[in-house]
A and B are shown apart, each in its own frame.
Chain A
């Protein structure tokens, strides 16, 4: 999931208005930018959509890490197209956030200063070519688990962005799985790469759903507002159940000795990830946090003259046009 542990904001508005708003959501009527909405709803959505957008942007980095080393021309093209899609997702999501009254530049500043977060998963490195397969298969796979239900979210622009994004994400997942397949059926070394990628990315992928939030007040509020559609544990279970047979098909081993089919619940029992590691990553201590933020800050700072230059030119053109009229 590209948005984790989104805290909800309390609402202090008139109870009658709040009640009407909730009734509208319960009736599955979409909230549109011009409609009245509680301040808490608006702020929580900005946080969630913003974090999601930042994840798409920072997510370019671990995958971009392999573009210049992609092993064939076709793989290079597929990866370029994927990373380009992710940047496009960032663009739609920032546009959706802007309808809530926050600018893209504002959100960007908050990402760069570390005030806003992006998904913990992108603080893990991509170390061998199979990681590019595993990211598509597991990371895009986990994102889809969350985003498919979000197509029905209550906020219109967010829901529409999710519909566009989901189509591309499932494409990414299939392409990632296809890389894993080639690796798993390849030479001994390729198999080793595939297993190594799965070993390193399995638990970080489970962390993407966030810690159990079944009892969290934030989760309850966000679910009532339909900006969160399922609990973290529900989605994680679904993800495990979907992924285990796929790993088996590849002939790879999920790095979890406790993984067993539980007939009674109709799903797998699995080990929790190390949540202390997760909180360390959120605090900035993941293997790549510093690299990622440095790269984004450098891109932004080095690009300042470009943005200023293009803006100044547009301004000159506008002035010339006005003068001519």
Chain B
């Protein structure tokens, strides 16, 4: 593995693992409440994949953190300011359209990032990316298909999908806002600078959203503060109160 500051590498791994953990949590909230049985199954499956990926990313992060920490410690015993997920992923689900639009916006990002990570100079990261990439390819295919179906469906479904895109668009830019962690990862050949992925991303979502007859909002304003932990939304704290409750209420128990 290339020589790299362990703290920086940990930050990178937390970004990866917190993204899948927090989105996995949000998606799992749909369980039993989806519009149609096939969607119940598909959403549970997506959440399952995301939590599985989380175990890899946070497992590796825990290993580097030392003190015989586990992925569970990292997931269940950190507070809001330690989380490094994108703001987009901690937002409440909204309606089914907003949930699927968010899924599509994130799946698209992952589908571009993971093939790059498969060539990471860090063998462990390359392996995790390899393991996740099939799932991600399937997720983006499915979420893109649903966005197109609903965008180009009825008048109501179109209006709802446009509203979802408008609502979420200000959170997209954060995926590409690089900082010193990204610079260090890029320099060590561990991960690409996300800013370099934007063009490919815009092309991918542009094509799908056009087919969905949806318009990308004419604004490049971006909310930030998730991937560096500086300013999360108010929603993350509430999510953690649920997710971490048992571990916090009964410390030291084995489940």
Asked if A64 CB lies within 8 Å of chain B CBs, one says yes
In the complex, which of the residues A298, A299, A316 has the most CB atoms of chain B within 10 Å of its own CB atom? A299
CB contacts (< 8 Å) of A94 on chain B: these are: 37
Asked if A295 CB lies within 8 Å of chain B CBs, one says yes
Interface of chain B, main secondary structure: helix
A-B contacts counted at CB < 8 A amount to: 149
**A187 in complex: contacting residue of B36, B37, B253, CB < 8 Å:** B253
Q: Annotate A79-111 by CB proximity to B: 1 below 8 A, 0 otherwise.
A: 011011001101100100000000010000000
Chain B interface residue count: which class? 35 or more
- The distance from the CB of B13 to the nearest CB of chain A, in whole angstroms, is 15
Task: Give Cα distance in the complex from A77 to B56, angstroms.
Answer: 13
Task: Give Cα distance in the complex from A73 to B32, angstroms.
Answer: 20
CB contacts (< 8 Å) of A189 on chain B: these are: 250, 253
**A64 in complex: contacting residue of B32, B58, B243, CB < 8 Å:** B32
Q: Annotate B26-51 by CB proximity to A: 1 below 8 A, 0 otherwise.
A: 00110111111111110011011001
Q: Are B37 and A57 in contact (CB under 8 A)?
A: yes
Q: Are A60 and B32 in contact (CB under 8 A)?
A: yes
Given A57-B32, A64-B32, A310-B153, 17 new contacts (CB under 8 A): A60-B40, A67-B31, A68-B28, A69-B243, A71-B255, A73-B72, A74-B55, A75-B255, A80-B44, A129-B255, A187-B252, A299-B32, A306-B39, A307-B35, A312-B157, A313-B153, A314-B149
A-B contact pairs, 27 of them (CB 8 A): A68-B28, A68-B29, A72-B76, A73-B71, A73-B72, A74-B72, A76-B51, A80-B28, A83-B32, A84-B40, A84-B48, A87-B32, A87-B40, A94-B37, A187-B252, A299-B32, A299-B34, A303-B36, A305-B160, A308-B154, A309-B153, A309-B157, A311-B153, A312-B153, A312-B154, A313-B149, A313-B152
A residues contacting B by CB (< 8 A) are 57, 60-61, 64, 67-77, 80-81, 83-84, 87-88, 90-91, 94, 104, 129, 179, 182, 186-187, 189-190, 295, 298-300, 302-314, 316
